[in-house]
Structure 1
């Protein structure tokens, strides 16, 4: 008799991938929100029980997070959340700085590749009266990311935009912490408005200077907040 290979129905495969994606997203949130603190150890069984899923999608999600540098597998003893690699984050911020300052210089030139409509659309969010500003940190974090991605995308270099999106994804886990305090939200509105006004006036050097200062301040604040959050999470876990 010919040997037959059993395959799962397409619907079952899709459901499995969906569960693995959901576990991946939840574990990534747990790391970002310090429910899983850097240095924490856990097993696949513990995650499986907590999330109410089988171990297979948990294992798939953990391997994906391992590839992205969030966790590591321990020989015969489960998994561990990796400490934040601030050296790597700083290198990514350096790359982000190069990409974004290059983009704003290009936006101030008369280049046919520039997407003026995308650039002008940013004014609807950032050039608004103070009374119309959002105080929702999660929303502002999303708008902030969109602002910086739009600046690079509007410059018209698809490869530059692709690399910038990758950098953005890799620093998102700590960058979002910059919007947990109201003064930082207010500063983001003020700084984005100044950058956007300089770009629209074709003042490339000023726009790049403002953007560089904006990113450097955010980077410094995020590092301080991250270290504080890790300390608080570890203190709470010991109680």
Structure 2
């Protein structure tokens, strides 16, 4: 059994145990395989370039090939894997050029979302959610917990996109965030301490509270462009051509 697949069955069992008794329907085998493989890929526990057949994955998960095949098709549609007939799947790497394109797209889409949310105005609950994300970022930086900072950062961005109410925009942003997530996690400790990034979020939140769409658009575009440029520079400086 390929080493990166070791422990998948136990992880699946643990997930089922954690979900036991929770309201809602039980996930199908296809959904379970998709969720687990997706999480492992995004967390770099299954790394870029990794290859395995459907049968190897099915054996590791303790299920038949059909739900595995369905899960791989979904992952392929999200740009995370390549499915090859008779060869199973390969986890797709993300290159510096990929990240450049991804950040250009995220900059455009999230800027639209920020301006839209500002013009619509935030509810008390929405404001509280964004405020908590900013607080969590500040506290994570204070204790130098970069992973917790990154989680709060992603939460802020996804809340912002959720609040704009555009389902198609949210779906697109989610797909590109997933593709960027692996690179962000790998390069997290190669970047300077993200103090300015946290301040950018606080400034954006202030513009959203004031319902200043122009300021929200300008602040978020500058933030996103700066983040993308810094990430590309890290990849080039360290010779990380594909992750």
TM range (shorter): 0.5 to 0.7
* 1:26 maps onto 2:36 in alignment: yes
Could you tell me which residue of structure 2 aligns to residue 61 of structure 1? Answer: 71
Q: Deviations over 1:3-23 (max 9, x none)?
A: xxxxxxxxxxx87x5332222
Could you tell me which residue of structure 2 aligns to residue 169 of structure 1? Answer: 175
What secondary structure sits across from 2:90 in the alignment?
strand
Structure 1 pair 28–84 and aligned structure 2 pair: CA distance change class (3 A): same
Residue 192 of structure 1 and its aligned partner are, at CA, apart by 0.7
Could you tell me which residue of structure 1 aligns to residue 217 of structure 2? Answer: 208
Residue 216 of structure 1 and its aligned partner are, at CA, apart by 1.8
Could you tell me which residue of structure 1 aligns to residue 131 of structure 2? Answer: 123
Find the aligned partners of 2:71 and 2:173 in 1 and give their Cα distance.
21
Which of 58, 62, 75 is the matching residue for 1:52?
Answer: 62
Structure 1 pair 210–175 and aligned structure 2 pair: CA distance change class (3 A): farther
Residue 188 of structure 1 and its aligned partner are, at CA, apart by 3.2
Could you tell me which residue of structure 2 aligns to residue 43 of structure 1? Answer: 53
Residue 193 of structure 1 and its aligned partner are, at CA, apart by 1.0
Larger RCO: 1 or 2 (CA < 8 Å, sep 6+): 2
Find the aligned partners of 2:113 and 2:226 in 1 and give their Cα distance.
19
With the length of structure 2 as denominator, give the TM-score of the two structures: 0.66
What secondary structure sits across from 1:73 in the alignment?
strand
Q: Deviations over 1:130-171 (max 9, x none)?
A: 55767544544343233223334445xx33x54134322332
Aligned length: 213
Could you tell me which residue of structure 2 aligns to residue 146 of structure 1? Answer: 155
Residue 186 of structure 1 and its aligned partner are, at CA, apart by 3.6
Structure 1 pair 223–37 and aligned structure 2 pair: CA distance change class (3 A): farther
Residue 29 of structure 1 and its aligned partner are, at CA, apart by 2.7
Which of 94, 118, 121 is the matching residue for 1:114?
Answer: 121
Structure 1 pair 162–147 and aligned structure 2 pair: CA distance change class (3 A): farther
* 1:198 maps onto 2:204 in alignment: no
**Runs (5+) with no aligned partner, structure 2:** 1-24
Find the aligned partners of 1:230 and 1:25 in 2 and give their Cα distance.
28
Could you tell me which residue of structure 2 aligns to residue 8 of structure 1? Answer: none
Find the aligned partners of 2:115 and 2:242 in 1 and give their Cα distance.
41
Structure 1 pair 100–134 and aligned structure 2 pair: CA distance change class (3 A): farther
Bigger mean CA offset, 173-182 vs 163-172? 173-182
**Runs (5+) with no aligned partner, structure 1:** 1-13, 234-239
Could you tell me which residue of structure 1 aligns to residue 7 of structure 2? Answer: none
Residue 222 of structure 1 and its aligned partner are, at CA, apart by 4.2
